[in-house]
């Protein structure tokens, strides 16, 4: 039987068991700064080349992590933008286009094939990958720039690439310093040294301990963060957690049995897991998004479903995305820590 022991979240011995993992989360902001500083000169060179080449016909983001770039760029990019997670490149991509590749490990054959195709077709190519890696080797070419990165931090790498795209007029502001500051703020608030009463990561973990997390974000980036948070919760707990559009999540909330104050919480028929609505709020004010949020929260209130709101108040959209994602990751790890298996 698995149950949740919230006392473990403030237990120094229990916390020591996940110290390395929590340290890695706390260093998220530092990694963003380190990656940005380490690639500063190659980034300037890539911007110079872009100025000489002029605006591309289209941007192709290749590799499995291309979807994050798409979520950020699609509303802003002044030229067609394509996320291409499959190996290689779309058939039409050529010398008039810009290809960008995120390669956290640098060893993925699909990412290497995309880089090689870009070189072969004469496309502008900017690759973020470890030096001397498989992808870096396949990216060598006259119109190619390697942004050297180490450590495999996908978010830090994405911020670096977004900084480049902003610098050449193809994307919104993605200031690495502001993203790092937002991550540092989350690390301070969710530190293992802050107790349950004031720690938002621990509070959210407790709220989700015996429930089905239903995670929703209204904006494009908040919706992506919701999917990533739900994935993290599933990995941490081995239980269900879902994310999706409001139309997909509304039936889950509406199917919840209305809470009755006279129900016996220990009765077998009450043992089914109830949903908890987790709203990732990045401050977006689109009227359609606000109406969707109202529908979800009203459905939750009608059936006595708890609503948890995770807020991000950073100054840029990318920083708010990073803040929401890290808060959810902290909650997932505290959830993992609190779950105890009786044998």
Domain ranges of the chain: 2-26+179-341, 40-148
Joined together, the tokens standing for residue 77 give 């990019």
**Inter-residue contact 341 to 1 (CB < 8 Å):** yes
Question: What letters, b where the CB count within 10 A reaches 16 and e where it falls short, cover 197-230?
Answer: eebbbbbbbbbbbebbbbbbbbbbbbbbbbbbbb
Exposure on the CB side of residue 52, measured as CA atoms within 13 A: 8
pLDDT along the chain (343 residues), means of 10: 92 95 97 95 93 94 84 90 90 96 92 95 95 95 92 90 95 93 98 96 96 96 96 94 97 86 52 88 94 97 96 93 98 96 72
Q: Which two tokens stand for residue 147?
A: 């942004």
Phi, psi values for residue 147, rounded to 5° = -95, 105
What is the spatial distance between Cα 51 and Cα 168, in angstroms, rounded to a whole number? 7
- SS (HEC) of the chain: CEEECHHHHHCHHHHHCCHHHHHHHHCHHHHHHHHHHHCHHHHHHHHHHHHHHCCCCCEEEECCCHHHHHHHHCCCCCCCEEEECCCCCCCCCCCCCEEEEECCCCCCHHHHHHHHHHHHHCCEEEEEECCCCHHHHHCCCCCEEEEECCCCCHHHHHHHHHHHHHHCCCCCCCCHHHHHHHHHHHHHHCCCCCCCCCCHHHHHHHHHCCEEEEEEECCHHHHHHHHHHHHHHHHHHCCCCEECCHHHHHHHHHCCCCCCCCCCCCCHHHCCCEEEEEEEECCCCCHHHHHHHHHHHHHHHHCCCCEEEEECCCCCHHHHHHHHHHHHHHHHHHHHHHEEECC
318 backbone φψ class: left, alpha, beta (φ>0; ψ -120 to 50): alpha
The CA distances from residue 220 to 161, 241, 315, 319, in Å, are 19, 19, 17, 14
- What angle (nearest 5°) sits at the alpha carbon of residue 135, between those of residues 130 and 137? 95
Q: Is residue 23 exposed (0-12), middle (13-18) or buried (19+ Cβ within 10 Å)?
A: exposed
Q: For domain 2-26+179-341, which CATH number applies: 3.30.460.80, 3.40.50.720, 3.55.40.20, 3.40.50.10490? A: 3.40.50.10490
**Assessment of whether the complete model's pTM goes beyond 0.85:** yes
Domains 2-26+179-341 and 40-148 share a fold: yes
Residue 19: CB partners within 8 Å, gap ≥ 6?
192
What CATH topology corresponds to 40-148? Rossmann fold (3.40.50)
């Amino acid at each position: 039987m698995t149950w949740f022991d919230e006392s473990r979240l403030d237990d120094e011995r229990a916390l020591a068991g996940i110290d390395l993992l929590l340290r890695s989360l706390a260093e998220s902001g530092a990694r963003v700064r380190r990656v940005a500083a380490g690639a500063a000169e190659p980034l300037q060179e890539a911007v110079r080349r872009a100025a000489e080449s002029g605006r591309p016909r289209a941007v192709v983001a290749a590799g499995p992590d291309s979807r994050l770039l798409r979520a950020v760029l699609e509303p802003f990019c002044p030229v067609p933008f394509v996320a291409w997670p499959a190996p290689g490149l779309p058939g039409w991509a050529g010398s008039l286009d810009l290809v960008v590749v995120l390669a956290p490990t640098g060893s993925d054959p699909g990412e290497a094939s995309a880089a090689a195709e870009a070189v072969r077709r004469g496309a502008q190519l900017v690759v973020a990958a470890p030096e001397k890696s498989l992808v870096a080797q396949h990216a060598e070419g006259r119109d190619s720039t390697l942004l050297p990165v180490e450590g495999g931090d996908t978010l830090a790498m994405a911020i670096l690439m977004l900084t480049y795209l902003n610098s050449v007029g193809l994307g919104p502001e993605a200031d690495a310093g502001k993203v790092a500051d937002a991550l540092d703020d989350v690390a301070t608030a969710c530190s293992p040294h802050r107790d349950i009463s004031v720690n938002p990561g621990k509070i959210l973990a407790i709220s989700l301990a015996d429930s089905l997390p239903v995670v929703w974000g209204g904006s494009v980036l908040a919706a992506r963060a919701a999917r990533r948070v739900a994935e993290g919760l599933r990995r941490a707990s081995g239980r269900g957690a879902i994310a999706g559009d409001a139309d997909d999540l509304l039936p889950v909330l509406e199917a919840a049995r209305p809470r009755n104050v006279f129900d016996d919480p220990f009765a077998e028929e009450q043992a089914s897991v109830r949903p908890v609505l987790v709203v990732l709020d990045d401050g977006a004010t689109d009227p359609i998004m606000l109406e969707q949020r109202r529908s979800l929260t009203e459905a939750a209130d009608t059936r006595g479903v708890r609503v948890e709101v995770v807020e991000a108040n950073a100054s840029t959209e990318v920083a708010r995305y990073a803040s929401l994602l890290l808060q959810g990751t902290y909650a997932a790890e505290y959830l993992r820590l609190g779950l105890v298996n009786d044998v």
